[in-house]
Structure 1
Amino acid sequence: MTDTRSNLIDVGRITSVFGIKGWVKVHSDTEPAENIVSYKPWWLKTRHGVKAVEVDEFQAHGKGFIAHIKGVDDRDAAEALAKVTISVERAQLPELDSEEYYWHQLENLQVISVFGGAEVVFGRVSHLLETGANDVLVVKPEADSLDDKERLVPYVPGQFVQKIDLDAGKIWVDWDPEF
C-alpha cells in the first residue's frame, strides 16, 4: 500500500540476501517485472527511515531477480535490507492511456454499487489483489456503508466496474450487494 501523502510509490521489495558479496533477492510488482531496474534511484523504506540507493548490477534469478546495491558489499550489510520495501518517485511512472489506472490511484476511492438501479455505498478500496484471471478490488466498509462487510469486486471495466472518477474519489460498480 502506498502512502498518499508521499511522493513515493511502492514497486517491490527486497526479500532476502543472496550469497556473501552483498547481493539481495528482489521481488518486483512492476509490469513487466524487470522494469523495476529502470527506475533510479530506488528509495528503500527501512526502519530507520527512507534512503535512496543505486543499483549497480541486476539480473534475473529463478522466479525473481537479484541485485547489488552500490556500497553494500557483504552479507551483513545486505541482511540489514532484507524485507525492505522498494519505492520510486511517482513522477517516474509512465503516463497511461485514458481509462487506464495504476493501483495506487484506485486505493482509498469510495466504491458505490449501482446494481439494480439504486446507488449503495460499499466502502473504500483498501488494496487490490492479483488473482491471475483479473485483479480484484478489496473494499472495506466505512461509516456510511450499506453494512460492515468487506467485499471483493472483480476489477473488470465495462462489466463490473462502470465508472471511475479520480477527481470525485469514486468508483461505480455493478455488483450485487448480497455478495
Structure 2
Amino acid sequence: MDERVWVPVGKVTRAHGVRGDVKILPYGDTLAGFQAGGKMHVRVAGFHALRTLTLTRIRPHGRFLLAGFEELPNPEAAAAIVGGEIVLSEDHLPPTDEGEYYTYQLIGLSVETTAGIPVGTLRAVFDAGSHDIYVVAGRHGKEVLIPAVEDVVTEVDLGRRRMVIDPPEGLIDDL
C-alpha cells in the first residue's frame, strides 16, 4: 500500500483548445519547474486511484498554466480530468526557506496568543497580495483573519501543531 502523502499543488479548471490541453490553476510556484517529458499526478473526484500523466507541453497563460499530456489527445479526454487536482508526493516538494511553510502544513494548527490565550484553529490560507492571510476558526463560530507577517506570527511549531501570534490591538478583542 502506498504510504506517501500527496499534496495538492494545482487544479485543472477546464479543457483548452483542440489538442487536449488543460488549463491549470497552480497553487504557488511548485509547478514552475515542470517540462515536457515530466510526470504529473492527478486526483479526480470520485476516483480512488491517482492518474499519472506525461507532459508533452506546458506554458504560462496569465496566472494559469496550459498543459498538454500524452494520455489526453483530444478535448474529450481532457474533459475527464477537469476539476481534478494536480498532486505531488510530499517527498518531491521543493524545500522551503527558513520561516516558509506549505499551506498543507499550516492547516489544522492550533493558534494562540503570546499570552497563551487560545484563538482557534487555522482553517485556510489566502493570498492578499503583499502577504498571506490566515483564516482561523475561533470560538463561538467566529472567524478571525490573521495577517501572515513577521510582526504578528511569532512562532510556527509544526511538531507541536501550533502557531503563536502577537495580535495587534483589536484583532481578537471580540473572541
Mean Cα displacement is larger for which, 26-35 or 76-85? 26-35
Q: Deviations over 1:31-56 (max 9, x none)?
A: 27633559953221112232222212
- Relative to structure 1, the CA distance from residue 166 to residue 39 in structure 2 (aligned partners, 3 Å threshold; closer, same or farther) is farther
- The answer to whether the 8 Å contact 1:109/1:124 transfers is yes
> How far off its partner does 1:124 sit?
0.9
Q: RMSD of the TM alignment (CA)?
A: 2.3
Is 1:85 aligned to residue 78 of structure 2? no
Classify the secondary structure of the residue corresponding to 1:60.
strand
Match 2:122 to one of 110, 116, 125: 125
Query: What percentage of residue pairs aligned between the two structures are identical?
Result: 23
- Relative to structure 1, the CA distance from residue 167 to residue 39 in structure 2 (aligned partners, 3 Å threshold; closer, same or farther) is farther
Which residue pairs with 2:131 in the alignment? 134
- The answer to whether the 8 Å contact 1:125/1:139 transfers is yes
- Relative to structure 1, the CA distance from residue 62 to residue 172 in structure 2 (aligned partners, 3 Å threshold; closer, same or farther) is closer
**Cα distance between partner residues in 1 of 2:10 and 2:92:** 15
Which residue pairs with 2:71 in the alignment? 71
**Cα distance between partner residues in 2 of 1:75 and 1:83:** 14
**Cα distance between partner residues in 1 of 2:131 and 2:15:** 32
Which residue pairs with 2:173 in the alignment? 178
Count residues with an aligned counterpart: 167
Query: Is there any run of 5+ residues in structure 2 with no aligned partner, and where?
Result: none
- The answer to whether the 8 Å contact 1:41/1:88 transfers is no
**Cα distance between partner residues in 1 of 2:121 and 2:19:** 44
Query: Is there any run of 5+ residues in structure 1 with no aligned partner, and where?
Result: none
The TM-score with structure 1 as length reference comes to 0.83
Runs of 4+ with deviation above 3 angstroms: 35-40
Matched letter for residue 48 of structure 1 = F
Matches within 5 A, 1:29-178: 29-31=27-29, 34-35=32-33, 40-46=38-44, 47-49=46-48, 50-114=50-114, 118-141=115-138, 145=139, 147-157=140-150, 159-175=151-167, 176-178=171-173
The TM-score with structure 2 as length reference comes to 0.85
> How far off its partner does 1:61 sit?
2.7
Classify the secondary structure of the residue corresponding to 2:96.
coil
**Cα distance between partner residues in 1 of 2:96 and 2:8:** 17
Mean Cα displacement is larger for which, 88-97 or 129-138? 88-97
